[in-house]
Amino acid sequence: MSLHVQVALSLPEWVHAQVDTGHAYPGDESKVALAIELSRLNIEAGSGGPFGAVVFDAANDRIVSVGVNRVLPQHCSVAHAETMACMLAQQRLQRARMNRDLDDNIVGRYVLATSSQPCCQCYGATVWAGIDRLLIGARSEDVEALTEFDEGPLPADWVGELERRGIEVVRDLHRDAAREVLRRYGQSDARRY
């Protein structure tokens, strides 16, 4: 068996038709609404689990990148919606921390909107990704009640830990709509994604 030295991750083809990078999404609610719409489209297309995320440029409310869960199609446990969106934004911006350059100068402000509260992996990823705001739809308890996913352990004061690192957290945006996608997924036999 040959040694693998590269990982290639990609979003499903349908995102090209569904995502308009020229459109502005003012306000917190419209940003999370798009993340939830991506989560819904992902399960309808059978292209991954019921999670969507979007990175926005806070200067103009436009999309920098999007992500959907790609774990099972791409055999990759880290390919969650939030990590996909952050990795793709960092590649587009050519910065490991979106909001800072190599000299630690602030070069922009970025918002990560996600259909559900980040799991323990994505929580850790958001600490280093260089985002300024985190907007969340469903809560982790919704994910665990409506699906079989384990969200993993988080610090008891996970919101405070982010805010102490300069990341503002806004929760419960379109929570019911996000829960509806999770419920639909949990009730389907589509849990192979």
Dihedral in degrees, nearest 10, Cα atoms 16, 18, 23, 26: -130
Window 100 to 139, contacts with Zn ion (CB under 5 A):
119, 121-122
Among 31, 40, 70, 80, binds Zn ion (CB under 5 A): 80
Is residue 182 part of the contact set for Zn ion (CB under 5 A)? no
* Closest CB to Zn ion among residues 58, 78: 78
The nearest distance, CB 22 to Zn ion, in angstroms, is: 28
The footprint of Zn ion on this chain (CB under 5 A) covers a number of residues equal to: 4
The nearest distance, CB 62 to Zn ion, in angstroms, is: 24
Tokens of 122: 């994505």
Cβ neighbour number for residue 51 with a 10 Å cutoff: 35
Distance CA 39, CA 54 (A): 11
The nearest distance, CB 73 to Zn ion, in angstroms, is: 16
The nearest distance, CB 109 to Zn ion, in angstroms, is: 23
Cβ neighbour number for residue 86 with a 10 Å cutoff: 26
Distance CA 67, CA 79 (A): 9
* Closest CB to Zn ion among residues 93, 119: 119
Structural contact between residues 122 and 18, judged by C-beta atoms closer than 8 angstroms: no
Residues forming the site for Zn ion (CB under 5 A): 80, 119, 121-122
